[in-house]
Structure 1
Amino acid sequence: MANYTIHYKLSHANGALVDEAWDEPLVFEVGDGQLDPCLEKCVLDAKLGELQTFLLSASEAFGERYDEAFQFMSRDDFPSDFNFELDAAVEFQTPAGDAYVGCIDQIEDGQVRVNFNHPLAGADVSFQVKILDIAS
């Protein structure tokens, strides 16, 4: 697989910056998990040395937001010293050992609502990329 060196900016369609590697370029190998597959596809479609902007709909980017991905959990399901904060990311382990990250979306009485959607689910995004180098 090829190694890419890129500059990039990922923004909501409204212009709010989400992530960037502009001062320090990102070096990654296709498929290594550093970039989401939807962004890797844009890099593969980009031309070396050209600054390009890809406008991705929610379905093309990180998917739609699903109500089923919101789960209510008891405060008792969390460690006793857990600091409950809105929008805090929490990692959960399944019995099989897989890890899932959710964000605390709502805190009421003894219940906590956790959002397991991707943080950018439901959002149209702009991905600006410039390929600096491609090495085999």
Structure 2
Amino acid sequence: MKITNNSVVVMHYAVSDSEGTLIDSSYDHKPMSTIQGTGYLIPGLEEQLLGHQAGEKFEVAVSADKAYGDRHDDYVQTVPKELLQGVEDLAVGTQLRATTDDGEQTVIVIDVTDEEVTVDGNHPLAGLDLRFDVEILEVREATPEELAHGHIHSDGESCCGSDDGDEAQPASETKSDCCGGGSCGSIH
């Protein structure tokens, strides 16, 4: 079966920057499972998976604009340290949730002095062209329940915990409370 939108794709990947420096890899861990076309993956990688099938190994080059976007200097801000009173382990690399004009977002502490803290709201990979080594392990049709919930369920598992997948879902269940908050044993 070839990868199309709404296919479940199980794959290993290794991602490097344009200089060949390894950033992340699934090869020493569980493979990644995703539903193609849901936007879980960066656009450039998701587009390049279409048409591939289980057993294939290939490389994908993804430009920054199809990955995590360009870096924005205005996403870096220095604030008085007193604004972050009560934050434990305030050190370079600490991730914080910040309220911005665009809502909640994750920022990373990039500098700490006695008086100020500098945070960066850019994704750590923003502005980088990326290269992926991909190995497709499995391709299958997503179940109606997986499509409704937007994520993969473990073999034979339904969101309500039944092993046969036939148990009816409560009408009030949403993606956010599915499986106790979206954890069906799949990688999110």
1:100 to 97, 105, 121: 105
Residue equivalent to 1:12: 17
- TM-score normalised to structure 2 length: 0.62
Q: For this pair of structures, how many residues does the alignment match?
A: 134
User: By percentage of residues, which structure has more strand?
Assistant: 1
How many Å separate the matches in 1 of 2:136 and 2:69? Answer: 25
Q: How does 1:1-136 map to 2 (within 5 A)?
A: 1-23=6-28, 24-30=30-36, 31=38, 33=40, 35-44=41-50, 46-93=52-99, 98-136=103-141
Q: Residues 92 and 123 from structure 1, CA distance in 2 versus in 1: closer, same or farther, beyond 3 angstroms?
A: same
Given that residues 46 and 52 in structure 1 are in contact (C-alpha distance below 8 angstroms), is that contact kept between their aligned partners in structure 2? Answer: no
Give the secondary structure class of the aligned counterpart of 1:52.
strand
Which consecutive aligned stretches of 4+ in structure 1 deviate over 4 angstroms post-superposition? 93-96
Q: Name the amino acid aligned to 1:6.
A: M
Question: Once superposed, what is the RMSD of the aligned Cα atoms?
Answer: 2.2
Task: Give the whole-Å Cα distance in 2 for the aligned partners of 1:60 and 1:95.
Answer: 25
Match of 2:65, SS state, is coil
Consecutive unaligned residues of structure 2, counting only runs of 5 or more, are: 1-5, 142-188
Moved more, 22-31 or 113-122: 22-31
Code of the residue aligned with 2:31 in structure 1: it is P
TM-score between the two structures when normalised by the length of structure 1: 0.83
Give % identity. 28
Contact between 2:15 and 2:133, CA under 8 Å: does it hold in 1?
yes
User: Which structure 1 segments of 5+ residues have no match?
Assistant: none
Quick check: which has more Rg, 1 or 2?
2
